[in-house]
Structure 1
Amino acid sequence: EEVQAKQPVLAMQDNNSLQVKVDVPENIIRGIKPSGNDQPNAERAPTWATFDSHPDQRFDLTLREVSTRADRATQTFEVTYTMPAPTDFLVFPGMTATVTADLSRVSVGERVFTLPATAVTADAQLEPFVWVVEESAMTVAKVPVEVGRLSGSSIEVAGGLEPGQRVVVAGVGYLAEGMKVRLLPQREQAQPRADEVPSS
């Protein structure tokens, strides 16, 4: 077989050590304190990976590098970790994992949420707010917020919200204080037409 100069003809892979790459949003990167020489990265922000086929097993990750340039399309920063290959099941390049990081020791304390821009609206005085679902009664309540930067279709909310609150992200212009709402089902199934239903 004829090949051209500098044409790759062989790809070698070492599966004894794996790399795990994660795209981290800008607001999370900005909320991390710079590292010092007094504490290793593993102790500052313990990070581990799990795989869907073995959810009860956690694999500790070691930080390798953090990209200093954001991806042009997603505005996220690529963070690379390493981990030894599991011994009781196979993991090949391109497979997915769930990565969890404990950032409690490295957070600067500023809590910023990122929401779809469609979730934030404004009142007559142009003060921004969101609709929060009161899940006990399934009604909505207006909550004033402090907004930050707009990035693509997402917007930062720096104040007004608490972790765990459910925010309406679609149809906000049709809501009113105290209005009853219901959650969309996680999976929508098409209803068959009458002529498609088999007769008994």
Structure 2
Amino acid sequence: MSVATPTTLATRFKLVPYAEASPEVKAIYDETMRDMGVPFVLNWFKCQGSNPTLLRGNWAKLKSTMLLGQVPFILKQLIIYNISKTKGCQYCAHAHGTIADSLSKTLTGDDSIKLTQNLQSDYIPSSYKVALGIITRAALDPQSITEADFDELRDEGYADEEILELMALADLTNMINTIADLSGIRIDNELMETK
């Protein structure tokens, strides 16, 4: 029996384009585009467009965990990228890798350097590397996280509020990976053009 890979799956959930969305879903789509700063609706949202209740809840979780809070946005994107790549979620690794690489200049001072190509780069601060390792492990095996991991994050300068925010990224990434993989969504054409 052969196992389908994410690149060979057909989309299992109808992608609801903006023009066909209900007024309630259009309002959520508008929020996602505005708050994420993208001029199009991502396939990840469109595959949930037939269920406004689910879409609203998942958007609220994604927004509060990824877009708000104290942890730097670039670190959040690197963490989501790293977990997604490690788990083999092609859609999320590509999408969040694109975002992280578009922000690389904030750490490198150079538009041509892509941090996702070397997460051990000297451009990435030690505190980011520690968080990347611990939060990726938390997403893959939450029972493996110990008090020593929390202490290590504190030693790197993270406050407890930030540590909670970092740990929430493990949960968020597992959710977004699951929806992307189960739905069989393809990488958005607009994101393909940026890689």
Same fold (TM over 0.5): no
**TM-score, with length taken from structure 1:** 0.24
Q: Which has the higher contact order (CA 8 A, sep 6+)?
A: 2
Q: In proportion to residue count, which structure has more strand?
A: 1
Q: In proportion to residue count, which structure has more helix?
A: 2
